[in-house]
Structure 1
Amino acid sequence: MIRAVRANHKGFHTALLQPGVNLILADRSNSAGDKDTTNALGKSTFIEIIDFCLASNAPPGKGLRIEALQDWAFTLELSLVGREVAVTRTTDKPGFFAIEGNTDDWPVRPTVNKEGVSGLDVKKWRAVLAWALFDMSDLSGESGYRPSARSLLSYFVRNQTAAYNTPFEHFGHQKTWDIQVHNAFLLGLNWEKAAIWQQLKDQKNALGALKQAIKTGAVDGELASLGELEAERLRLTTQLEREREALSNFRVLPQYREIESQANLLTSEIHGLVNANIVDKRRLDRYRDSLVSEDAPTEDRLEALYGEAGVALPGAVMKTLAEARAFNAQIIANRYEFIAGEISALEAAVREREADLVALTGRRADFLNALAGQGALEELTQLQEFHAATRMKVDELTNRITQLRQMTAKADTIKVETVELKRATILDYEERRVLWSQALSLFSEFSENLYKLPGRLVIDIDDTGYKFDVEIAGSPSEGISKMKIFCYDLMLITFARKRGLGINFLIHDSTIFDGVDPRQRAHALELAAAMAAKYGFQYICTLNTDMVPVDDFTSGFDYESLVRLRLTDTDPTGSLLGFHY
């Protein structure tokens, strides 16, 4: 329970708190103008100071760690496990908490720092809070998804605007596992089931990320079916065996390139001889054809032609024709002699080339036989490189097949484990019915106290874990949405006290009553007072005076006796810190 909130500056308005309801009011003075405001008097800062001393995160330049509050130290006096202690944290050195009081039975004992002050660092102070308020060792520093004292405290000290949006979250965009684990702890459910659920989700997400990486090329390979991969591996394995056999039969011939060059030269010569023979044989064919088709004219053929024409040739002409015949016969004889000579020469050339062809072909055959089954060193190297590349592909495929099988098996395992986890969680849920049903009953009771019909706190278990919801008739209105949070938080502190946990305070900012009908505000404050008195806890609420439903309290409810501190807008000294910044 919180006894007092102090600071090391004289202008600060110390708040002395008591069991039950404690109201911190921001008054509007009679002399205040229409441009003055009660929104900067320190109501939210008051809650922030308490949270600061309870080991909230304190990044530089934010919250209380601004330049205007340099050298400030805030002290929280409270009782932990029946012992009165004072905790002081400075804005300049927020990593150290000065501790005063009896700490003999604490699981972590304060130590003296360089300045001679006894205290704890952030981690150790949080461990003490976990032990004192929630009866657990501080698990926040361990691996895995576990409840932490700070997250649990944030449901009892709502210190952010986003904390008033939904009962189950204390900051915006809170992760699902965080919501499930901490609400399960507070509602008496098995939070370890929620942690295992998140571990299975992580494994599933990791598989999905790996598949996406393969698909987008971030990981080598292509996403294919197991059958396609096996078929490709078989093809490459066959190719690998052929390459292995070729390598085993390969012989390196040192003179390979010289012999290959000589064989190529012989091939070129052979081609030249063959081409020359083709040309000469075509010439032989033409010469032989000309001898067959060309005949000498008969001696009387010309006279016969003239006789047929009825022309008589004189004797002189006959003599000239005879001479012409003799000359023509000589020409033909000479042509026969020339063609015969050419034919003889061509035939001799062809025969010579054919003999050369036989000799060259034999020599080339010897060279080719020498090269058969053997190769140059660079060819062997290339074959080895091809073989190594194929082997690498086979190995990659084998790894990919193994990976795909493992991924498929893991995905199936996750599905089976999720189903089994859901079944085990439902069984555990039933075994804990006596415990969690108290929380549901309290919420129903509190909501009925504010409205005509009781609301419902709903706990479901589906394939993703615990699901929480609250229902009050007329939920769409802002006021009723805020009262869902009020009823839930009041249930949490009441339920915690019934379970014997050490947490014994609940703190709300005036935001909890935004848009709430004055009658429900009055019922809520009276209900908080009744439950605080019955179960021994403290309810602290900051309000503007004009939000206090004075006319709607039941007769005999003295709200004035619950006011522990009044802040005013008369001048800056009336604010919590004694000045405006």
Structure 2
Amino acid sequence: MKLLKLSCDQPSFKTLRFNSEGLTLIVGDASSRNSQDGSSNGVGKTLSLGLVHHCLGANADSKLAASVPDWMFRLDFSLGQDIYTVERSGDGKELFLNGQKIALAAFRRWLNDRGPFKLDDTVERLTFRSLFTRFARYHRDDCTNPLQTRKESEYDGLLRSLYLLGAEFSLVFSKRSSKQELDQIKQTVTNLKGDKFLREVFRTGANPQVRIEWLGKEIEKLIKDLSQFQVAEDYRQIEQVAENLTKKLRENEKNKEIIRFQLAGIEKSLTQQPDISRGDLLALYEGLQSIFRDEILEHFEAVERFHNGLSANRQKRLEQDRLGLSKELDQLESEWRDIARERDKQMQLLHGKRALDEYAATANILASYKEERARLDEFLTFSDKLQERSQMVKEKRLSEDKLAFNYVRTNPIKQADDEFKKLAELLYPRHPSGLVLKNNLGDNQLRYNLDVQITGDDSDGINSARILCLDWVFLMYGANHSMDFLWHDNRLFADIDPRPRARWFSYVMDSIKGSGKQYIASLNTENFDAMADFLSESEQSVLRSSVKLTLRGDTPENRLLGIHFGKPT
């Protein structure tokens, strides 16, 4: 795939024609006070790359849609011997391929099928858009990690980079699938344990198998109990009558006890002797003769008669009371027998029978136990299957660990590593560098660790150099693509010192001759001019002749769009 021309239907737009081979430079004069390097408010060097992405199926840019929604941008490009034209409006809504209107999704499918990448249908997450970015890093986040572009996961970055290096990637995909399956199994078990029955079992620390055995015994008991259950629909009414009769019996017993106590008191009173016997009374009177006059003592017979009269009356009254209480006791005894017979009759009606609500409660407990046992059976059965599947996946991964180990030992990216070292050594001599592929045995989705290393890559300039070198390896020595161009924006050169930057362009100009490939770069004027002291006259001449577009920030007309695109209001 090569780029031929970037143009627009608006006359103010600065058309960009790409050299069919070798170096194409876009130089931006960022001396304007309002210019911001690498942003949409600049002169347009980065925007030109953004418009290529726009024409090749990127999501519509909000600033472009807001500023120039009706402008039609056009990109002419070639795939093999065929030339294609794609036109797209600034808001992204209108899209034409070779003059024929096409939906964005259909155009992306066309790029996947007909584009420069040999996509493997069996491997997910490989698309034209995801791979193309490595040959045209547009966003700032595309330019921070050589293996990952904007919004890419570590797995995606590894997979796509290995794919472009021609390395084995089936094990990469397989480990991710295995990890996802193991995580899903783990999550499924967790979800199962969240069941209301299982949650209580695990909360109490009970073993599900032990619980199932206990439930089985309890269910058998309840089934037997229900089979012998005789329901009396009026059980509760009869039970209430029986309870009332029992209360009457208890009241009767209490009353009888009171009468028995009273009768016992009467019996005791009847058996007691008079308080003073005749002999005692006479002895008393005789002892008083020396004190009282004789006429007073003459009344002894009268006193004795009075005392005897009182005793006889008391005995008579007690006998009458005893007779009355005995009759009352007999009446209570008769009532007690009648009440007891009635209560026994009611109790006999309940014999062997139980209440309907008690039957319902027992049936509910049985149903609850059956449901819990079914859930536990399902959990243990499914859990066993999950554990079996988990073991199979783990065994497969162990096997693949060994395969990956043996694969890494073959040094499959040796050529890419050699070329990367050559470039890194050119830019930063005496800085150890290389592409290192290692087997990743961790519990994660990554099959390999791929290190893109230039010692000192914590420096912004050296980090940018890692990206330049790896992208060049993708272009010149990569696999699974027919990309014939590589575009590097000024932001990748801004932190590289003039000397290594000059070495880079000198190498590119020399090595790209006769390759049929394009190298497109955008540079600020100061970055462009600063290389002059480190380039030969002939190299400076080639570099100057490679400039296809010069953009300035002094007036709107000298910008890419010819207007103040994206300027704050």
Deviation of 1:486 (Å): 0.7
Q: In structure 2, what is the equivalent of residue 459 of structure 1?
A: 437
1:563 aligns with 2:565: no
**CA-atom RMSD, angstroms?**
2.9
Bigger drift between 392-401 and 368-377 goes to 392-401
- Which runs of 5 or more residues in structure 2 are unaligned? none
Relative to 1, partners in 2 of residues 1:11 and 1:517: Cα closer, same or farther, differing over 3 Å? same
- The superposition leaves residues 478-502 of structure 1 with CA deviations (integer Å, 9 ceiling, x where unpaired) of 1111101111111111123xx4731
Please tell me whether residue 321 in structure 1 is matched to residue 300 in structure 2: yes
Q: Name the amino acid aligned to 1:479.
A: G
CA drift of 1:546 comes to 0.9
Q: String of CA shifts for 1:323-374, please: whole Å, max 9, x gaps.
A: 1221111111121222233233333433443344344333322321221121
Amino acid of the residue matched to residue 43 of structure 2? L
SS of the residue 1:305 aligns to = helix
Q: Is the 8 A contact 1:472 1:480 kept in 2?
A: yes
- Shift in Å at residue 437 of structure 1? 1.9
What is aligned with 2:174? 196
Q: Tell me if the contact between 1:38 and 1:569 (Cα under 8 Å) persists in the aligned partners.
A: no
Indicate whether 1:468 and 2:450 are aligned: yes
Task: Please name the residue that 1:163 is paired with.
Answer: 142
Aligned residue number for residue 64 of structure 1? 64
**Structure 2 SS opposite 1:159:** coil
Mapped partners of 1:37, 1:368: distance in 2: 101
Counterpart position of 1:573: 557
- For 1:12, the equivalent position in structure 2 comes to 13
- Helix, strand or coil for the counterpart of 2:202? coil
In 2 relative to 1, CA 310–386 (structure 1 residues): closer, same or farther, beyond 3 Å? same
In the alignment, the residues of structure 2 paired with residue 514 and residue 305 of structure 1 have an alpha-carbon distance, to the nearest angstrom, of 146
Question: How does 1:399-438 map onto structure 2 within 5 Å?
Answer: 399-429=378-408, 433-434=411-412, 436-438=413-415
Tell me how far apart the structure 1 counterparts of residues 201 and 527 of structure 2 sit (CA, whole Å): 63
Counterpart among 391, 404, 416 of residue 370 in structure 2:
391
2-side partners of 1:240 and 1:480: how far apart? 74
Quote the Cα distance in structure 2 between the aligned partners of 1:73 and 1:336: 137
Residue ranges of structure 1 left out of the alignment (5+ in a row): 100-116
Q: 1:129 to 1:34 in 2, by over 3 A?
A: closer
Question: Displacement, 1:460?
Answer: 1.9
User: 1:177, CA displacement in angstroms?
Assistant: 2.7
Distance of 1:79 and 1:268 partners within structure 2:
107
Residue 175 (str. 1) matches residue 153 (str. 2):
yes
Aligned match for 1:268, one of 227, 240, 247: 247
Q: How far off is 1:504 after superposition?
A: 1.0
- Give the Cα separation in 2 of the matches to 1:540 and 1:11: 23
Which structure's relative contact order is higher, taking Cα pairs within 8 Å and 6+ residues apart?
2
Give the aligned residue type for 1:452: P
Distance 1:448 1:357 in 2: 118
The worse-fitting range, judged by mean Cα deviation, of 193-202 and 312-321 is: 312-321
Return closer, same or farther for 1:325/1:530 CA change in 2, 3 Å cut-off.
farther
CA contact (8 A) 1:180 1:191 kept: no
Paired with 1:348 and 1:458, the residues of 2 have a C-alpha distance of 118
SS where residue 540 of structure 1 aligns? strand
What does residue 103 of structure 1 align with?
A: none
| 1:335-414 equivalent positions in 2, closer than 5 A | 335-414=314-393
Asked if the contact 1:41/1:567 (under 8 Å) is kept, the reply is yes
Structure 2 partner of 1:105: none
> Can you list the C-alpha shifts for 1:43-74, whole angstroms capped at 9, x where unaligned?
11100011112211225xx15322x2121111
Distance 1:84 1:34 in 2: 40
Query: What is the deviation of 1:224?
Result: 2.3
Residue 22 of structure 1 aligns with an amino acid whose one-letter code is: T
Out of 415, 426, 448, the position equivalent to 1:449 is 426
Matches within 5 A, 1:239-258: 239-258=218-237
Aligned partners of 2:345 and 2:32: how far apart in 1?
Answer: 120
Q: For the Cα contact (< 8 Å) 1:177–1:195, is it kept in 2?
A: no
CA contact (8 A) 2:197 2:372 kept: no
Question: 2: CA distance between counterparts of 1:307 and 1:534?
Answer: 171
How does the TM-score come out when normalised to structure 2? 0.88
Are residues 63 and 489 of structure 1, via their aligned partners in 2, closer, same or farther at CA, if it must alter by over 3 Å? Answer: farther
Aligned-partner residue type, residue 10 of structure 2: H
Q: 1:9 to 1:273 in 2, by over 3 A?
A: same
For residue 517 of structure 1, report the CA deviation from its aligned partner. Answer: 1.0
Shift of 1:560: 0.9
Is the 1:24–1:565 Cα contact (8 Å) retained in structure 2? yes
* Amino acid across the alignment from 1:175: S
Equivalent residue for 2:474? 492
Q: Distance in 2 between matches of 1:467 and 1:89?
A: 40
2:118 touches 2:480 (CA, 8 Å); kept in 1?
no
CA distance in structure 1 between the partners assigned to 2:350 and 2:34 by the alignment: 106
Aligned-pair CA distance for 1:387: 2.5
Q: Aligned letter for 1:380?
A: Y
Moved more, 389-398 or 508-517: 389-398
Q: Answer yes or no: is the 8 Å Cα contact 1:27–1:567 preserved in 2.
A: yes
SS in 1 for 2:486: strand
Contact 1:482 1:513 in 2 (8 A): yes
For structure 1, which segment, 77-86 or 314-323, has the greater mean C-alpha deviation from structure 2 after superposition? Answer: 314-323
Q: TM-score, normalised by structure 1?
A: 0.86
Relative to 1, partners in 2 of residues 1:314 and 1:219: Cα closer, same or farther, differing over 3 Å? closer
Q: Amino acid of the residue matched to residue 74 of structure 1?
A: F
1:189 maps to a residue whose letter is: A
* 1:30-49 equivalence runs, <5 A: 40-49=42-51
* Corresponding position of 1:503: 483
